Amino acid sequence: MVSLKVISILSAFFTAFPLAASAPAEGRTHNGKTTAARPNLSPYPLTTGKKFPTSPRRTKTCFIDALGSGRDDGPQILAAAHKCNNGGTLAFLDDLYTIGTPLDLTFLKHVDFDIQGTIRFTDDIDFWIRNQFEYYYQNISSFWQIGGTDVNLFGSGKGVIDGNGQKWYDAFDTNKLNTTFRRPLLLVFDGIKGGQMSGITMRNSPNWNTLIANSSDMIFHDMHVEAKSTSNIQAKNTDGWDTYANKPMKTLDRSDNIIIQNSVINNGDDCVSLRGNSTNILIQSLACNGSHGISVGSLGQYYQNQDIVENVYVFNITMTNASDGARIKAWPGVFGEAMPGWVGGGGTGYVNNVTYDTMLLNNVDYAIEITQCYGQKNLTACNERPSTLEIKNVYFHGFYGVASKKYDPQVGSMICSSPEVCHDIHAYNINVLAPSGKAPYYTCFNMDESLLGVKCQPWKG
């Protein structure tokens, strides 16, 4: 991450003493419940072509007994992480764990999390506003952060991580122009080298669900992401996954070789968002509902900072009730105000070798959207200052289904600010219909229409 600042550090873990057992983790019984075997995950049906590091069998187990009655289990979880580091499993076998203090678990090595119950964060907004892990990038923060080598979380279809977000959704509606009102991300992986996460439900995050930062060789499988408000205030910015790294110059420093597969996402923002310095990413077999699509970006937000997204394959996606199917979004080429309290633009870098292959759309506003004016309302002024972030070698194919009524009969938008920095974009075998039955079309600007197997109409500004 960029300029990570820890506001609060737990020092009370020495007061808790979880039971540690020196034996293989799976099949051990504690308080009438049995630990699960770690799933052996692999990419399917496609792969990035890159190998994943081996993960040795764990030899010790720390059973974490929930304190109950709303008491904070954070300190004993931190104690267990230290006790079972270097080859152990943290066993969450009770029904409900409460976390009321931030958890810094960025020191892990060869550790598994066997989560069979619910881990729920308190909704004490006043406390969390003062006690979060803060990151420079887009003013985000988090409840907890995990980093290290060979770290695996699995829920066996029963585990839940609950952000308790309803109070945050309601409060954000009245604080959205207050830049000090930070809504925590549910989980941040920062600096993971080899890891897996599977069989877990991520529920009601106040903000993005999972950020994968400066990490490599990770698989996410059989995940369920749920974010739904019970009031008339919508759950905002509840991305499923975001990938990012703050060190673009060396491949080893990027978020690299990340696979997100075979999962269900019901949320209110990007199903997956590939942000700056994400390479060799495979996204396959997802069912996304209510989202903003599978996005590349936003990119180029920070002046003269370099963002790279390269070698991405998106395969076999079902997209329902969404604003977009496939989306690429970059900021304009100059630094300018985007909205009150938020400015952006003028970043550099490139998007290269990105493929969207096979996507079923139902009630989606735009099947495909490309913009290099993200964050700007005055598109004419934006396009007078072309993006300096290059978009090239992009392929869309195998799209079918029916768009929403919002722009009927328009079903997509591909607008580049300059053909010099936005080129070699291909679209073919695209069969997305307008609900009215009229001939569907795409708004196109600065595109090589000979590479587009869709009907284009000129952009009018």
Dump pLDDT digits (tens) for 293-311.
Answer: 999 999 999 988 999 999 9
Give CA–CA dist 352/20, Å, rounded: 48
Instruction: Kindly report whether the peptide bond that precedes residue 409 is cis, defined as omega within 30 degrees of 0.
Output: yes
Q: Strands, E, within 22-165: which ranges?
A: 29-30, 33-34, 60-63, 88-92, 96-99, 103-115, 118-121, 133-134, 141-142, 144-162
DSSP state of 93: -
Instruction: For the chain, give percent helix, strand, coil, nearest 5.
Output: 10, 50, 40
Residue ranges of the chain with per-residue pLDDT less than 50: 1-17, 339
Q: Of 73, 150, 269, 365, which is the active-site residue?
A: 269
The whole model's pTM is what?
A: 0.93
Structure confidence at residue 375 (pLDDT): 78
Task: Sketch the domain layout of the chain as residue ranges.
Answer: 5-40+57-458
Give CA–CA dist 255/461, Å, rounded: 36
Nearest to 429 by CA among 453, 409, 450: 453
Q: Of 256, 292, 324, 365, which is the active-site residue?
A: 292
For this structure, is 73 an active site residue? Answer: no
Domain 5-40+57-458 has CATH 2.40.10.10: no
Contact 141, 135 (CB under 8 A): yes
Give CA–CA dist 27/37, Å, rounded: 7
Structure confidence at residue 436 (pLDDT): 98
Strand partners, 112: 89, 152
